[in-house]
């Protein structure tokens, strides 16, 4: 069975030494009392929960999967899942970053994200059950009425009730304007909702007393398309006046999907048969509430692949140090053994370092994004809130798509380190590959994220938000541009930062003439933008490491960070040159292909 050690040291490095989160918290009254010791203590205990409670259930949960009773429509989760969830609630983990008004602990979002990274490493399928609840909680916290909040948020904060987001239908995925589910108004102000949803993660299970579905549906007089979609709360059990679960509602699981991975999570086909629902927000404005969930979920999906990248790396590294195979090309390294450990071979190190660089770069971006969301919600300065929100909106598709692309690359290369053993279930590596593959698909495929980034978030405001990120790069370049020791980290991002302006303008002009040009270039563009962002954070991490070493700090952690930074800029960052070239190749080679695709 795979092993896992929570990367607490690296989390502390990113939060306290690179991002200096305590300074940001000091500027926000809601978190002014939070210090590094508190954060570290919470995450240390969270790491124990992930490694000791969740990790042992990962392989067994994958093998056992979920079981649906067709007669009762009830789903049984794998052995141990329900008991682990009870420990999760008992430990107060569900309430970690929730609003104290509803029983939450009010800790910063970055703490919750780091905790979830560790849980994703230990058991992504299990972590999806409470993970979906956070998105539903956020939507109701933002758009729910006072009565709705009082009814649902306390139980969702405690974890007693879980939540889902019910969007996809059999005939439509991302194109929600094609939705057919109907909501009929009732005299008492509720709605009767009828329809079918598919691919609903954690849509039915035995771990919580109630499941609160947030469902998109159409009113009878709704305009066509996305402008005619409304959002509804549809609980599994209707809620009594005293807040307890009441009669069974007309929403049930009609089937479970048979999937490539995440077998321990119940991906449900949900049937709505006149289910009672209450509207969230205004009629035909349902996407406002759903986007709160979707954006939270997109950050969460990036975090899933970050967790898988980390755990795959840890296990591949341990194997590479132990597995004997051949001799080093430059001469025997383990002369007392019949062969050298495979970690002496250059390409094995390349595979390991690829996963390490993508994990540590992704962690920096994830923590930074969490702090942007925190500032958008809680900073007292309106301009800081606005700027943080705009920057987060641009970075969200990068978090979702770039980190999950990298997770697929990393889990695959870590499996490769194991050779034939990686293809065998007993080692656990193939599960990481299977589990990581869904992350590139759900919550908007990575192509959808790429179109969102280039079409909406960059070209949509003529590159204004991209320029804001460019200012962060410019400030770092100005600070370290004359430091020879930083040149290998600063020069690449300085050059790419200048190239991005011309590159973006060129694609925008071509897209103005033919919108398909944006579609042809978007995926390559996101890879370039992702490396620009990762490059910025790797340069900042190298900056801190160099300063620590210069001050006489002999902790090998900083040497390791520099070595990984050098690898990243030498072996991974140059992908940007290829991606820019392929983006510029245009749409004709894709669309003028009638004979090839006949």
CA dihedral 293, 299, 300, 304 (to 10 degrees): 150
Residue 581, burial from CB neighbour count under 10 angstroms (0-12, 13-18, 19+): exposed
Classify residue 281 as left (phi > 0), alpha (psi -120 to 50) or beta. Answer: left
The per-residue DSSP string of 15-47 comes to IIIIS-HHHHHHTSGGGTT--HHHHHHHHHHHH
10 Å Cβ neighbour count for 93?
22
Nearest 5°: phi and psi at 472? -65, -45
3-state percent helix, strand, coil for the chain, nearest multiple of 5: 65, 10, 25
* Catalytic residue status for 83: no
132, two tokens: 């979906």
Tokens 């300063």 sit on residue = 547
CA torsion through residues 297, 303, 307, 308, sign: positive
CA pair distance 315, 29, nearest whole angstrom: 41
580, two tokens: 């820019």
Close Cβ partners of 215 (under 8 Å, ≥ 6 residues apart): 166, 181, 193, 197, 231, 232, 233, 234, 272, 275, 277
CA pair distance 115, 133, nearest whole angstrom: 15
| Angle CA 451–495–399, to nearest 5 | 35
CA pair distance 496, 534, nearest whole angstrom: 12
From the list 204, 390, 443, 517, the catalytic residue is 443
CA pair distance 324, 194, nearest whole angstrom: 60
Closest CA to 369 of 21, 47, 6: 21
CA pair distance 521, 591, nearest whole angstrom: 13
122, two tokens: 């230990």
State how far the alpha carbon of 341 is from the alpha carbons of 326, 348, 349, 356, 489, in Å. 8, 10, 11, 19, 31
CA pair distance 260, 281, nearest whole angstrom: 36
Name the DSSP letter for residue 211. Answer: E
10 Å Cβ neighbour count for 240?
10
Task: Tell me the catalytic residues.
Answer: 443
């Amino acid at each position: 069975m795979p092993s896992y050690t929570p990367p607490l040291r690296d989390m502390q490095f990113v939060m306290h030494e690179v991002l200096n989160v305590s300074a940001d918290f000091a500027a926000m009254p809601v978190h002014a009392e939070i210090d590094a010791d508190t954060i570290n203590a919470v995450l240390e205990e969270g790491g124990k929960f992930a490694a000791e409670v969740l990790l042992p259930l990962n392989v067994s949960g994958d093998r056992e999967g979920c079981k649906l009773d067709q007669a009762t429509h009830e789903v049984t989760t794998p052995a141990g899942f329900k008991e682990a969830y009870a420990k999760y609630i008992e430990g107060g983990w569900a309430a970690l970053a929730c609003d104290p008004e509803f029983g939450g602990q009010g800790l910063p979002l970055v703490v919750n994200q780091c905790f979830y990274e560790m849980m994703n490493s230990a058991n992504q399928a299990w972590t999806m059950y409470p993970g979906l609840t956070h998105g539903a909680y956020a939507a109701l916290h933002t758009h729910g009425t006072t009565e709705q909040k009082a009814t649902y948020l306390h139980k969702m904060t405690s974890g007693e009730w879980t939540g889902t987001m019910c969007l996809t239908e059999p005939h439509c995925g991302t194109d929600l304007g094609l939705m057919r589910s109907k909501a009929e108004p009732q005299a008492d102000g509720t709605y009767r909702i009828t329809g079918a949803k598919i691919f609903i993660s954690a849509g039915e299970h035995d771990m919580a007393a109630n499941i609160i579905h947030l469902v998109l549906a159409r009113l009878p007089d709704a305009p066509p398309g996305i402008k005619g979609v409304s959002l509804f709360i549809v609980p599994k059990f209707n809620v009594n006046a005293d807040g307890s679960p009441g009669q069974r509602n007309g929403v049930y699981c009609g089937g479970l999907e048979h999937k490539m991975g995440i077998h321990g999570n119940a991906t449900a086909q949900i049937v709505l048969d006149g289910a009672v629902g209450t509207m969230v927000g205004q009629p035909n404005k349902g996407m406002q509430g759903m986007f709160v969930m979707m954006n939270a979920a997109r950050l969460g999906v990036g975090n899933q692949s970050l967790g898988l990248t980390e755990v795959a790396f840890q296990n591949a590294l341990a194997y590479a140090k132990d597995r004997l195979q051949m001799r080093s090309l430059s001469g025997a390294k383990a002369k007392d053994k019949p062969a050298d450990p495979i970690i002496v071979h250059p390409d094995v190190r390349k595979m390991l370092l690829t996963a390490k660089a993508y994990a540590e770069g992704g962690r920096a971006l994830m923590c930074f994004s969490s702090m942007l969301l925190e500032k958008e919600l809680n900073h007292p300065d309106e301009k800081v809130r606005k700027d943080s929100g705009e920057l987060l909106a641009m970075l969200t598709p990068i978090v979702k798509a770039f980190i999950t692309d990298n997770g697929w690359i990393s889990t695959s290369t870590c499996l490769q380190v194991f050779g034939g053993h990686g293809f065998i279930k007993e080692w656990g590596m193939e599960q990481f590959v299977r589990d990581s593959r869904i992350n590139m698909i759900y919550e908007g495929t990575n192509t959808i994220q790429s179109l969102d980034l280039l079409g909406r978030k960059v070209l949509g405001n003529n590159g204004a938000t991209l320029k804001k990120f460019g200012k962060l790069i410019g400030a770092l370049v100005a600070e370290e541009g004359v430091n020879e020791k930083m040149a290998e980290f600063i020069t690449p991002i300085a050059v790419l930062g200048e190239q991005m302006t011309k590159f973006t303008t060129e694609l925008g002009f071509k897209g103005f003439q033919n919108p398909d040009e944006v579609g042809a270039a978007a995926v390559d563009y996101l890879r370039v933008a992702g490396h620009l962002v990762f490059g910025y954070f790797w340069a900042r991490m190298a900056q801190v490491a160099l300063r620590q070493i210069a001050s006489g700090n002999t902790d090998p952690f900083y040497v390791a960070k520099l070595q990984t930074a050098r690898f990243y800029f030498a072996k991974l960052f140059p992908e940007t040159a290829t991606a820019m070239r392929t983006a510029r190749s245009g749409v004709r080679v894709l669309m003028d292909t009638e004979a090839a695709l006949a």
